[in-house]
Each structure stands twice: as structure tokens, then as C-alpha cells.
């Protein structure tokens, strides 16, 4: 995670320096604000990666003496097929339409649909035919 933290923190420094130079050069507030906020967001991500990298063991990507074989093995569990992301996308689109046209009833329906689909996505492998049998 140290490599990722370094990358994001360097991008944050670049954004902050660019915001200062752009602000003095153009005197335009919107672009300066956008660059400063972009720097803040990338600094937030870089800080999180740095925070996590201090608390976990060094990964093969973080060690200079690592071999390619050190990274071999299981990477985790990835769902082979799921319809929940499609439902989540539809419910977020419905919520976005509710916000765009400021229809409270559509916004409420979309928010309820988002909660249901997020719950379905999170608990997909804990219920039904995919549940772990002990």
C-alpha cells in the first residue's frame, strides 16, 4: 500500500501546486477551487493508503527483494455471476432522476430501492442457495 500512498500523495501535491500557480496566473476562482478540492480528495485517499500500509504486513508489491512467485496464490473471492449490480445501477438511476426533476416521491422510491439492492448485494451469499451450510 506504500506505493499507492506515494502515488496519490504526489498527485495531491501536484494538484495543490497547480492550484496556486493557476490561481495567481488566471485569477479565476472556479478552476482554482476545483484543483484545490481535487488535491484534497487525492490527499484523503493517499492518507488512507498510508494509514493502512502502516498497519498491515508488507505485500510483495511493497518489498524491493520480492520475487514474482511471492504474489502467487489466492487473491480473494469474486462473484462469478450476480444480478444485484444491475439492480443497484437501476435504482441509483431512478434516484438520480428523482433528484434531477426534484420529484420527492421518485426520490423516495429510488432511495428505498438503493437500500434494498445494496442489502441484496451485501447479503447475496448468506441466504438462499448460496448460503454456507455448516
Question: What confidence tens digit (pLDDT) does each residue in 36-50 have?
Answer: 999 999 999 999 999
Residue 55 and residue 3 share a domain: yes
Residues 57 and 6 in one domain: yes
Asked whether residue 74 is assigned to any structural domain, the reply reads no
Same domain, 87 and 52: no
Q: How many structural domains comprise the chain?
A: 2
Tens of pLDDT, residues 84-97: 999 999 999 999 99
Q: What percent of the chain shows pLDDT beyond 90?
A: 64
User: Would the pLDDT of 130 be above 80?
Assistant: no
Angle between helix 84-101 and helix 104-122 axes, rounded to 10 deg: 160
Question: Per the domain annotation, does 69 fall within a domain?
Answer: no
Q: What is the pLDDT of residues 57-82, one digit of tens each?
A: 878 877 888 888 888 888 777 777 88
Q: Which spans in the chain are helix H?
A: 2-26, 29-55, 84-101, 104-122
Residue 71 within a domain: no
Range of the domain at 101: 83-125
Amino acid at each position: 500500500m506504500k506505493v499507492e500512498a506515494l502515488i496519490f500523495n504526489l498527485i495531491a501535491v501536484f494538484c495543490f501546486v497547480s492550484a496556486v500557480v493557476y490561481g495567481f496566473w488566471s485569477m479565476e476562482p472556479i478552476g482554482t477551487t476545483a484543483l484545490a478540492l481535487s488535491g484534497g480528495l487525492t490527499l484523503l485517499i493517499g492518507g488512507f493508503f498510508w494509514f493502512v500500509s502502516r498497519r498491515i504486513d508488507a505485500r510483495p508489491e511493497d518489498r524491493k527483494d520480492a520475487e514474482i512467485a511471492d504474489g502467487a496464490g489466492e487473491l480473494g473471492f469474486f462473484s462469478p455471476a450476480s444480478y444485484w449490480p444491475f439492480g443497484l445501477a437501476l435504482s441509483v438511476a431512478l434516484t438520480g432522476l428523482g433528484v434531477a426533476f426534484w420529484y420527492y416521491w421518485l426520490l423516495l422510491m429510488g432511495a428505498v430501492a438503493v437500500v434494498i439492492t445494496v442489502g441484496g448485494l451485501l447479503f447475496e451469499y448468506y441466504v438462499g442457495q448460496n448460503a454456507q451450510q455448516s
